[in-house]
C-alpha cells in the first residue's frame, strides 16, 4: 500500500523525522512562501510546521490534508477555523516544551530585577558601574501569573520556592488547581493592582488579544515589571512603550512580539527592555521531545486513532475516515 505523504515545512529534529519515516513518506521543504505552498500542498496528506510557516486559509483550501501538526503549543499561525470547516484535524505538541518555557521565564525575571544584561554589556565596554545597577530581590515580591496552564503552573510552583507571593488569574482552571499549588486566585484587575512582577502564559486568541492594554497599565503599580514568553499580541506594544517611557513600568522582558522578527520596533531601543528571539522552546531537550510528540500525533491522526492534543472541534469519529 502506498504510504501517506507528510510535508515538514519547518525545521524538525532528527528524532521526529525518523519516527515519521517508519510510517509515512516524508519530504522536508523549509522556508516556503504561501504561493509556493499553495502550488504543492495538494500532494500531501499531512503538514507539520513550527511557528515560522503560516498555514493560511488559502493554503488549506487548496489542499487535501487530513491533519496539520504544530510542533509546539500555540496554533495562531494556523487558520484553525478554515481547517475545521474542511474536516482537517489540527494537532499540537503541548507537553514537551513546558520546562523550557518556564525556565526562560525565570531567567528573564532574574535578569530584569538584577539588570544582568545591562551590567554585562557595561563591563564588556570597559566600565565598572557598580552603583548604576542596583537591583531588587525576588524574595517576598508578588508575582502575578496570568494563565495557569502547564507553563504558568510550573512558573508559579518555582516562584513559590523562591519565597515569592504568587497571585494567579485564569478563568478556565478549576479552583482545585490553584489549591493544589497553594496560590491565591484573583480577577485580572486585582492581580494587576497587587503584582510587583507580571508574567503572561495565555494563548493568543480573540479574547486575549491586547489583554494588557492602556486601561490595564493604569491599574498596575508604579515600577511594575512585565514578562511575556507566551505570544506577541497579548500586550498592546504601543501601550507598553508609553508606560516604559513614563516609568510606570520599570522594565520588561519579551521573548515574543506582534510582528516577528520585530524590525524597527521602538521597544528594542529602550534600555529597560530585555528581548530574546522567541526562544522559549529552544533547548536541546525540548526540541527533541516536541519533534517526537508531534510525529506520533500526526501518525495517530492519519491512522484514525485517538490523539492527545486535537485543538479544533473535530471528533475521533471523523478521524476514522482516514487510515493509512
pLDDT tens for each residue of 114-151? 999 999 999 999 999 999 999 999 999 999 999 999 99
Are 180 and 160 in contact by the 8 Å Cβ rule? The answer is no
Catalytic residue list contains 114:
no
Q: What is the pLDDT of residue 315?
A: 47
What are the backbone dihedrals phi and psi of residue 69, each rounded to the nearest 5 degrees, phi first? -110, 130
Q: What is the pLDDT of residue 1?
A: 58
pLDDT tens for each residue of 207-248? 999 999 999 999 999 999 999 999 999 999 999 999 999 999
Catalytic residue selected from 278, 293, 296, 297: 278
If one compares 323 and 213, the residue with the highest pLDDT of the two is 213
Which CATH architecture group holds 5-94+284-319? 3-Layer(aba) Sandwich (3.40)
Catalytic residue list contains 260:
yes
Catalytic residue selected from 27, 260, 285, 308: 260
Q: What's the rounded Cα separation, in Å, for the pair 288 and 227? A: 26
Question: What's the mean pLDDT when you consider all of the chain?
Answer: 93
Catalytic residue selected from 154, 231, 237, 296: 231
Which CATH architecture group holds 98-275? 3-Layer(aba) Sandwich (3.40)
Domain ranges of the chain: 5-94+284-319, 98-275
Give CA separation, 161 vs 20, 86, 139, 165, in Å. 40, 47, 10, 10
CATH topology identical between 5-94+284-319 and 98-275: yes
pLDDT tens for each residue of 83-114? 999 999 999 998 889 999 999 999 999 999 99
Catalytic residue list contains 231:
yes
Closest among 30, 24, 25, 27 to 7, alpha carbons compared = 27
At residue 198 the predicted structure's pLDDT band, cuts being 50, 70 and 90, is: very high
Amino acid at each position: 500500500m502506498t504510504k501517506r505523504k507528510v510535508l515538514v515545512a519547518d525545521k524538525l529534529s532528527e528524532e521526529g523525522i525518523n519516527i515519521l519515516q517508519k510510517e509515512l513518506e516524508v519530504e522536508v521543504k523549509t522556508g516556503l512562501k504561501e504561493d509556493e505552498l499553495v502550488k504543492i500542498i495538494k500532494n500531501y496528506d499531512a503538514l507539520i510546521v513550527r511557528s515560522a510557516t503560516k498555514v493560511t486559509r488559502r493554503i488549506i483550501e487548496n489542499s487535501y490534508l487530513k491533519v496539520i501538526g504544530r510542533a509546539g503549543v500555540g496554533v495562531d499561525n494556523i487558520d484553525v477555523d478554515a481547517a475545521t470547516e474542511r474536516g482537517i484535524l489540527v494537532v499540537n505538541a503541548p507537553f514537551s516544551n513546558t520546562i523550557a518555557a518556564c525556565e526562560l521565564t525565570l531567567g528573564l525575571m532574574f535578569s530584569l530585577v538584577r539588570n544582568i544584561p545591562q551590567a554585562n554589556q557595561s563591563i564588556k565596554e570597559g566600565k565598572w558601574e557598580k552603583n548604576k545597577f542596583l537591583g531588587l530581590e525576588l524574595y517576598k515580591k508578588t508575582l502575578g501569573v496570568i494563565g495557569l496552564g502547564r507553563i504558568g503552573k510550573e512558573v508559579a510552583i518555582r516562584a513559590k520556592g523562591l519565597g515569592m507571593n504568587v497571585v494567579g488569574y485564569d478563568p478556565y482552571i478549576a479552583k482545585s488547581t490553584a489549591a493544589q499549588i497553594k496560590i491565591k486566585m484573583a480577577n485580572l484587575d486585582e492581580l494587576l493592582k497587587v503584582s510587583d512582577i507580571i508574567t503572561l502564559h495565555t494563548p493568543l486568541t480573540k479574547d486575549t488579544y491586547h489583554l494588557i492594554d492602556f486601561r490595564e497599565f493604569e491599574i498596575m503599580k508604579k515600577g511594575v515589571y512585565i514578562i511575556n514568553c507566551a505570544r506577541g499580541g497579548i500586550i498592546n506594544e504601543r501601550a507598553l512603550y508609553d508606560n516604559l517611557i513614563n516609568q510606570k513600568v520599570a522594565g520588561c522582558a519579551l521573548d515574543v512580539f506582534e510582528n516577528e522578527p520585530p524590525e524597527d520596533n521602538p521597544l528594542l531601543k529602550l534600555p529597560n527592555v530585555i528581548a530574546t528571539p522567541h526562544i522559549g522552546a529552544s533547548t536541546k531537550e525540548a526540541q527533541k521531545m516536541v519533534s517526537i510528540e508531534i510525529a506520533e500525533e500526526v501518525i495517530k491522526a492519519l491512522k484514525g486513532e485517538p490523539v492527545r492534543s486535537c485543538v479544533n472541534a473535530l471528533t475521533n469519529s471523523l478521524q476514522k475516515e482516514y487510515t493509512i
